[in-house]
Amino acid sequence: MGQIITQVDAFTNTPFAGNPAAVCVLPTPQDECWMQNIAQEMNLSETAFLVRQDDGFNLRWFTPTVEVPLCGHATLASAHVLWSEGHLSPDKVARFYTKSGVLIAKLQGDWIELDFPVNHSQTAIAPEELKQALGVPYKSLLQNSLGYLVELESEELVRQIQPNFQLLKTLPISDVIVTSLTDSNSQYDFVSRFFAPGLGINEDPVTGAAHCCLASFWRDRLHKNEFLAYQASSRGGVVKVYYDGGDRVFLAGQAVTVLRGELFTAST
């Protein structure tokens, strides 16, 4: 039997929305080149690879072009697969050992809660080419380890922005979160989008790692700890955010399995 691979739509309870991730629960560790080839073949924003350890799972994430140190939606998808496919009892916490430290996932009713490190942003001065690449005026600009965090004037601008990705890719920092407050009649506190041509993804549909940055950004401005956020990509997704000012952010989302298949290519 070949390697089972499951595709999950994360940060949504509706198929064909949210952010799709492929998940492989491996019987043994595999060669990095093989995992990168599988991620390229799947051609999703991330493919997750898990290997069981004594009290949890080693977890790595690959885009079609590179390995990344942190990925929210593929972690959520991984936890969903562990519980739904019988690798882990639903009453057990999912513990992941990653390049960003130990990450925890808990099943809370229909939602999966993730315990992630916060990612603070600092004021930055962007090159003029960034303004040209975004093509819209912005209210404020910061920088963090994920890239730039750009606050726009309105929800409408966030939804309508169409960056020049060719120009964006030429910049030393080419990955950008754009965000704004929502309109007054919205059920959400803020909206965002994430453009990541530097990672081989022009736009990521729903990004947990971006909300590790957005949590502290909006807490400082809105003076509250809990948020309901919407990532306004064409697929769209909902993220519950809790951040009390410490070093951890709690993100919650839903997930649905849309595809399960078998890889026939030989592993190492």
When pLDDT is averaged across residues 54-59 and rounded to a whole number, the result is 95
The hierarchical CATH code for the domain 3-117+253-263 is 3.10.310.10
Residue pair 214/190 in contact by the 8 Å Cβ criterion: yes
Closest by Cα among 140, 132, 186, 122 to 159: 186
Among 27, 54, 49, 51, smallest CA distance to 39 is for 49
Residues present in the chain in total: 268
| pLDDT(267) > 70 | no
List of residues 6+ apart from 123 with CB closer than 8 A: 141, 142, 143
Give the position of tokens 């140190």.
Answer: 69
Q: Is the pLDDT of residue 69 over 80?
A: yes
The label of the residue with tokens 């009390």 reads 244
Alpha helices in 29-95 (DSSP H): 32-42, 72-84
Chain mean pLDDT for the chain? 95
Band (184; pLDDT cuts 50, 70, 90): confident
Catalytic residue among 32, 46, 85, 128: 46
**Residue 150, phi then psi, degrees to nearest 5:** -115, 120
Domain spanning 122-246: CATH superfamily: Diaminopimelate Epimerase; Chain A, domain 1 (3.10.310.10)
Active site residue 129: no
- pTM, two decimals, is 0.93
Q: What are the boundaries of each domain within the chain? A: 3-117+253-263, 122-246
Q: What is the Cα–Cα distance from 263 to 59, expressed in whole angstroms? A: 19
Phi first, then psi: give them for residue 70, nearest 5 degrees: -155, 135
Q: Residue 168 pLDDT more than 70? A: yes
Residue-level pLDDT at 49: 98
Q: Given this chain, do its domains 3-117+253-263 and 122-246 carry the same CATH topology?
A: yes
Question: Chain-centre distance of CA 165, in angstroms?
Answer: 20
pLDDT tens readout for residues 89-143:
999 999 999 999 999 999 999 999 999 999 999 999 989 999 999 999 999 999 9
Do strands 3-10 and 19-26 pair parallel, antiparallel, or not at all (unpaired)?
antiparallel
Residue 266: pLDDT band with limits 50, 70, 90: low
